[in-house]
Amino acid sequence: MPHVIADRYEPVELLGRGGMGAVWRARDRVLDREVAIKEVTPPAGLDDEQIGRVYTRTFREARSAARLDHPGIVTVYDVVEEDGRPWIVMQLVRARSLAAIIKEEGPLPPERVAALGLDLLDALRTAHAAGVVHRDVKPGNVLLPPDRAVLTDFGIATVAGDETITQTGAIIGSPAYLAPEQARRQRASPASDLWSLGATLYAAVEGRSPYQRPDVWGVMGALLADEPDPPRRAGALAPVLHGLLRAEPGERAGHDEAERLLRRAAAGTPAPFAPPDSPAPVPPPPPHLTVDPGAGLPGGTPTSPPPGTVPPGTVPPGTVPPGTVPPGGVRTDGERHGPRWAVILPLGVFAVLLAAGVLSAAVFLTQSGEKNGRPGQAGSSAATASGNGSTGSPNVAVPAGYEPYRGPGFTVAVPKGWKAEASGDDVTFSDPAQGGRRGIAIQRIAENAADLGGSMADAAGRFENDTSYRDYRQVDFRRGFDYQGGDAAELEFTFTREGVAGRCRARVFRFNGAVYQTVLVTRADSWGQTVPYYETFLKTLRAE
């Protein structure tokens, strides 16, 4: 056991040991109180000059961490030198770590994890505002005294904006909780801490890290090349994890967006992630202000409820809530408008149509090549892409390996040999060589919509609770970008349908004076091969 440190701090009990040193419970002889004191031990294999740099950085960063005053951050009292090494003196928090609780109790409920996440996020917000980046947020550095979470071990924190002192190439931090940019040896930033926060919350709700591999090299390889393993227990916490665990720092949820998602998760009412620089998704309208998505809407799929019941989210027969538009286009407030769906459609109902259209396209995964069209649609006719009876020169440049297709109001290039099946304004294309298990659909879904991004975000929220999309995990969401001369929104996600792992990308945009969506659906294992077909489809789509 070490001797008295700096003639003041007397180590009493070893509390734990990690890659950067050991932590002791100690007695402060001057103030007669218990403290925690960290003995800093550099990584093995460093020469004297490199060790000196580690010590210099530790002194500097401990002083920076001592400026932080927050109930969710373990207070740094002092940094002293003993035997030429720095020792960091900290507040002693008598509590188990989150890592120990996960090990002993297993996965925690999503709502509890969300509440812990709010505490940790607030602590990180304070640190980042002071220019301090933690760099090693992980379950082992989260202490859980009653009714709160506390972040400890700012001993390897780095001051944002300062020059990095160490050039050793050693891994600083725990590989399973490192942000991808840290694994690439890029500078850590507040966004790096937020990724690590997401990984920590993932571990709390799933009982394991987002990259569980046999060894550290497997973890590092997966971190650099793979998506995080799909969460299975996250529930309302899933949008938070999707927002924080993004490979690119600029695409991650920031402090404000993470807080919004965590508060919704803590209340058990998840909200979809809105990428940076985009407005937060608008919540769907209350049920009494929406209509049956199949009632008079192009592409709608009305169903017949049992006698005496009203489908959720519809207006009971004979009921006209204030502000809605009954058949004939006259609102109850006296203002006349066009068709009722042009007024009510912009968000809630539109999202239902988006979800229904994507679900129809997802049937690609589980049908054979001879049944690759949309189910339940009479009057469809299957043909090869170029054999649809079109004549004349198409208004589209056709790359090698593709052939033109002229549909209702559009032309486009599709892969040679793919089958086309049309129904009204909707056309699906599928690959017979893959047994119909990959395809592209283009669908006219509305005449008008005010907020495409909000509607797509609303649809994404519905997918997470739709049993048709087992193992749903959002991969990407973009809104407000330009396509076809107007704004567009795009959602990408993975899911399982009847035991088949699939991946989908859906884009919604204004086209031909209406709102359309294109959908790519394929087996997950052929995603990389199929995406170029979809990108060519989008590039060559032209209005007729």
Whole-Å CA distances, 535 to 268, 357, 506, 511: 37, 19, 12, 17
Strand partners for 429: 420, 440
Which backbone phi and psi does 516 adopt, to 5 degrees? -120, 160
Question: Do the beta carbons of residue 202 and residue 228 sit within 8 Å?
Answer: yes
Burial class (CB in 10 A: 0-12, 13-18, 19+), 330: middle
For the chain, first and last CA: distance in Å? 82
CA dist 135 → 173, 188, 200, 219 (Å): 6, 7, 13, 17
CB 140 within 8 A of CB 185: no
Separation CA 537–CA 33 (nearest Å): 70
Residue 398 tokens, joined: 């056709």
CB 281 within 8 A of CB 457: yes
Q: In the numeric block, which tokens belong to residue 436?
A: 């119909």
Say how far apart CA 489 and CA 167 lie, in whole Å.
42
Burial of 76 (0-12, 13-18, 19+ CB in 10 A): buried
The answer for residues whose C-beta is within 8 angstroms of residue 527's C-beta and 6 or more apart is 503
Strands (E), 199-321: none
38 is in an annotated binding site: yes
The residues annotated as belonging to the active site are 136
Q: Is the dihedral of CA 244, 249, 251, 257 positive or negative?
A: positive
Q: Which two tokens stand for residue 543?
A: 């209005």
DSSP secondary structure, 288-321, as one string: GG---TTSS-TT-----PPTT---TTSPPTT---
| Contacts of 134 by beta carbon, 8 Å cutoff, 6+ apart | 124, 127, 141, 151, 153, 154, 157, 193, 196
Rg, Å, the chain Cα set: 28
The binding site for ATP consists of 38
The binding site consists of 38
